[in-house]
Amino acid sequence: MPAYGGLDDAMSSPVKQDPIRVLLVDESMLSREGLKAILRHEKTITVVGEACTGTEAFAAVQNYHPHVIVMDVQLGDSRSIEACRAIRGGYPDISILCLTAENDTELFRSAVRAGAQGYLLKTAEGKAIVNAIKALSAGQSTLDPSVTENLMSWIRQSCLAQKPATKDLLSSHDMQVLFLVSSGKVTDEIAKTLNLPPRAVKSRLRNIYKQLHISRRSQAVSYYARHDKNLDRSASPPEIQGEIEIILNRNQT
């Protein structure tokens, strides 16, 4: 039986991949020439086009079909962020690496919000730029080490902004305890009403105070007065429903 050659050859030879198509966007010709000099020797990367402004960049995308755009985030027409957002919105498969001469917090955050997957300072070494382009082409993100603290600070601020309101920290049972506290009952009386040992009531009160970041009974009463709508009286156990009604009626007279 004759042997067929091509299969072994195909399996042993690496598959040739198309080079990463890169579009350079920078108002400075000197900067563009510097980037081309860095990328010229990379066989896996080819510069397919150039643009000077954000407006030109959007048009160049349609002409050159790049895989990655290396864009100065401080273009002269002040439209780099808008261009980044428009390109990412219209061509989600294209990755954008933003370069900047300044470690500016607002520029960094604006670029990330606009969809940039990479952010480097122009002081980055050529190897770092090459690696960033390759990473973005592979669907990854890259960030200049000098803006790491900026990112961490942003994340911390976002987490604090998303922190649930204090009133959502307490359960309905916690609010029932605060209801009894606000009615003037002492720990032993609360324990008797809830059919709990005083030690359990003290423990629950400590946890409530810790969650609310308070330390005095008067603060607990003040909190309950502001958030008493959180108390689900219908879910209260029978032993406390009677107390609630008595206190409410007493307060209305």
Predicted confidence (pLDDT) per residue in 33-59, tens digit: 999 999 998 999 999 999 998 889 988
3-state secondary structure of 18: coil
Look at 151 and 32; give whichever has higher pLDDT. 32
Using a cut of 0.85, tell me whether the model's pTM lies above it: no
CB 119, CB 111: distance < 8 Å:
yes
Q: Quick one: DSSP state of residue 16?
A: P
The pLDDT-based confidence of 244 (bands split at 50, 70, 90) is very low
- pLDDT higher than 60, residue 243: no
Partner residues linked to 183 by β-bridges: none
Residue showing tokens 């960033």: 132
CB 24, CB 53: distance < 8 Å:
no
Cα–Cα distance for residue pair 203/246, rounded to 1 Å: 26
How would you list the strands of the sheet with 68-72, edge to edge? 45-51, 20-25, 68-72, 95-100, 118-121, 142-143
The pLDDT value given to residue 17: 77
CB 97, CB 84: distance < 8 Å:
no
Q: Which of 9-13, 38-42, 133-137, 150-154 has the lowest mean pLDDT?
A: 9-13
Length of the chain: 253
Look at 24 and 166; give whichever has higher pLDDT. 24
Structural domains in the chain plus CATH codes: 17-151 (3.40.50.2300), 166-247 (3.40.50.2300)
pLDDT in tens, 121-130: 999 999 999 9
- Sorted by sequence, the CB contacts under 8 Å of residue 190 that are 6+ apart come out as 177, 180, 181, 196, 201
The pLDDT-based confidence of 240 (bands split at 50, 70, 90) is very low
What DSSP string runs through 219-243? HHHHHHHHHGGG--GGGS-HHHHHH
Cα–Cα distance for residue pair 76/188, rounded to 1 Å: 73
For residue 107, what are its two tokens?
């520029």
The share of the chain scoring above pLDDT 70, in percent, equals 75
